[in-house]
Amino acid sequence: MLFKFKSIFNFSFKAKYSFSFIVITFLTQLNYSQENRQFQVFQFPANKIPTIDGNSEDWKMVPKNYVVGMDQLWDDSGKQPKANPKNLDVSVKVGWVKGLNRLYFLYEAYDDYWDFSLPGLHNDTFELIVDADQSGGPFIDRFHPNPSLTNTMEAFFSYHGVHAQNYHIFTPALEKDWTMVWGSQPWIKKLPYANVSYHYNFKPGQSGKLTLEFWITPFDYAGNDPSRAIESILEENKNIGLCWAIIDYDDVNKTENNGFWNLSKEHKMYGNASYSLPFKLMPLENQFKKEIEAKWSFKVVNMPKREVAFVDESDGEVNSWNWDFGDGTTSTEQNPIHQYKEAGKYVVILNIKGPKGTSQLSKVWDVAVK
């Protein structure tokens, strides 16, 4: 019987290896699929940028599919088997504005016990991880890949929070700064890099609803010296890395929290950006778009020859383009390159046509050559 068993499963080493590889790959993909979630960042129209005042009215235009609620979180401390809205109920919306390197957040939460009377880290907390360029990898000093640099002040100042940022946002902050930036760059939590406002009417130990509204600036590089910082460029349809956790305390006399509600499936997301999740910077929703709108930009590609490249960036379906370069010449190309014969400052006009109508955009003296 043993011989038959062996004969049936008498794979060559190569076959066994291939089989094992398939099984491991399948399990890896299964695990990945469980974590393969993508979220959306709502684009606010330029004339409807939310005011940071703790009032959620500005956010009512955000569709429900942008909301991240308790159904997306899990308590990886194991203390709470499932979410109980009578104990804690949280929703988060994230927004952006095209042309601004800012991320806007609306955090709304009901808690049956708000713990925020102590001056240190023992505070109900919204812990936010930002990795806007999706660089991934560990970013706190004790996770440094070189063990000899682990937990050193050198690593803290040169490494901790540099390529991704961790904000311990106190909910609410009482007689202390609104957040602890876990790293050597506390300047990123102040204007002109961030702004915040709260609204609540409860006292420590009471229940109630909190509204937290804020914006932050994401950075590709943010060290101790702000003059060397590099902001992350936010662009339409780009993915950025975000993650958060809600640390819930229910007794001021207990040192341990009552739950660590994590958006990621990996507890160590707080110090490893590879465990953040993709959030897509979405285009404007259709109700905020014009059916057709002329938009364009330009770049001087050769100043000595006075060559200028014009780029059509119009919205809507466009069938024809008509450029007036301001020097008596025109073009019907979508993205023309034009050579000016004379130095000067020019009024350039783009006229477009499509099934939904026409549109025109002129720019006065933006285009200047010498």
Average pLDDT over residues 2-8: 37
What DSSP assignment string belongs to 66-103? G-EEGGG-EETTSS-SS--TTTEEEEEEEEE-TT---E
Q: Is residue 341 part of a domain?
A: yes
Nearest to 174 by CA among 115, 101, 113: 115
Q: Which residues are 297's β-sheet partners?
A: 311
Shared domain for 216 and 70, answered yes or no, is yes
What residues have CB less than 8 Å from 23, skipping those under 6 apart? Answer: none
Q: Give the pLDDT of residue 362.
A: 98
Shared domain for 341 and 318, answered yes or no, is yes
Q: Is residue 17 part of a domain?
A: no
Q: Give the pLDDT of residue 9.
A: 35
Q: Give the pLDDT of residue 152.
A: 82
Beta-carbon-side half-sphere exposure of residue 29 (alpha carbons within 13 Å)? 6
Which three-class secondary structure state does DSSP give residue 157? helix
Q: Give the pLDDT of residue 14.
A: 41
Which three-class secondary structure state does DSSP give residue 274? helix
Q: Give the pLDDT of residue 24.
A: 38
Domain boundary among 281, 314, 334: 281
Domain boundary among 234, 257, 281: 281
Residue 203 has pLDDT above 60, yes or no: yes
Q: Give the pLDDT of residue 148.
A: 85
Nearest to 127 by CA among 166, 158, 91: 166
- CA distances (Å), origin 72, targets 39, 250, 273, 277, 341: 11, 22, 18, 12, 61
pLDDT tens, position by position, 96-121: 999 999 999 999 999 999 999 999 99
Shared domain for 263 and 318, answered yes or no, is no
Measured distance CA(72)–CA(54) in Å, rounded: 24
Domain that holds residue 305: 290-369
pLDDT tens, position by position, 172-196: 999 999 999 999 999 999 999 999 9
Q: Is residue 21 part of a domain?
A: no
Are the beta carbons of 353 and 318 closer than 8 angstroms? yes
Average pLDDT over residues 331-344: 98
- CA distances (Å), origin 237, targets 42, 59, 93, 221, 278: 11, 21, 17, 22, 11
Which DSSP symbol is given to 283?
P
Residue 359 has pLDDT above 60, yes or no: yes
Domain boundary among 247, 281, 315: 281
% of the chain with per-residue pLDDT over 90 = 85
Q: Give the pLDDT of residue 151.
A: 74
Q: Give the pLDDT of residue 35.
A: 57
Nearest to 92 by CA among 124, 70, 114, 125: 70
Q: Domains in the chain: how many in total?
A: 2
Which CATH number goes with the domain that contains 322? Answer: 2.60.40.10
Nearest to 224 by CA among 148, 144, 155, 138: 155
Q: Which of 10-24, 25-39, 139-153 has the highest mean pLDDT?
A: 139-153
Residue 150 — pLDDT band, cuts 50, 70, 90? confident
Rounded to 5°, the CA angle 84-87-90 comes to 75
Residue 19 has pLDDT above 60, yes or no: no
Shared domain for 97 and 157, answered yes or no, is yes
- CA distances (Å), origin 145, targets 41, 130, 154, 242, 276: 32, 20, 14, 22, 18
Q: Is residue 73 part of a domain?
A: yes
Residue 28 has pLDDT above 50, yes or no: no
Measured distance CA(98)–CA(46) in Å, rounded: 7
Written as six digits, the tokens of 125 are 């907390």
CA 239 to chain centre: 8
Shared domain for 119 and 148, answered yes or no, is yes
Shared domain for 118 and 153, answered yes or no, is yes
Which DSSP symbol is given to 335?
S
Average pLDDT over residues 343-362: 98
Helices then strands, each counted (H, E), the chain = 3, 24
Q: Where are the alpha helices (DSSP H) in 73-208?
A: 153-158
Shared domain for 99 and 236, answered yes or no, is yes
Residue 33 has pLDDT above 70, yes or no: no
Shared domain for 305 and 340, answered yes or no, is yes
Shared domain for 235 and 295, answered yes or no, is no
Measured distance CA(226)–CA(54) in Å, rounded: 28
Measured distance CA(143)–CA(272) in Å, rounded: 8
Which three-class secondary structure state does DSSP give residue 136? coil
Q: Which residues are 207's β-sheet partners?
A: none
Average pLDDT over residues 38-57: 97
Which DSSP symbol is given to 18?
H
Nearest to 123 by CA among 88, 162, 169, 68: 169
% of the chain with per-residue pLDDT over 70 = 91
Shared domain for 216 and 338, answered yes or no, is no
- pTM, 2 dp: 0.85
pLDDT tens, position by position, 73-101: 999 999 999 999 999 999 999 999 999 99
pLDDT tens, position by position, 268-293: 999 999 999 999 999 999 999 999 99
Residue 209 has pLDDT above 50, yes or no: yes
Residue 248 has pLDDT above 90, yes or no: yes
Residue 15 has pLDDT above 60, yes or no: no
- CA distances (Å), origin 220, targets 214, 232, 241, 353: 20, 5, 11, 40
Average pLDDT over residues 141-151: 86
Q: What is the residue-averaged pLDDT of the chain?
A: 91
Which CATH number goes with the domain that contains 229? Answer: 2.60.40.1190
Stretch (H or E) spanning 35:
helix 13-35
Are the beta carbons of 174 and 203 closer than 8 angstroms? no
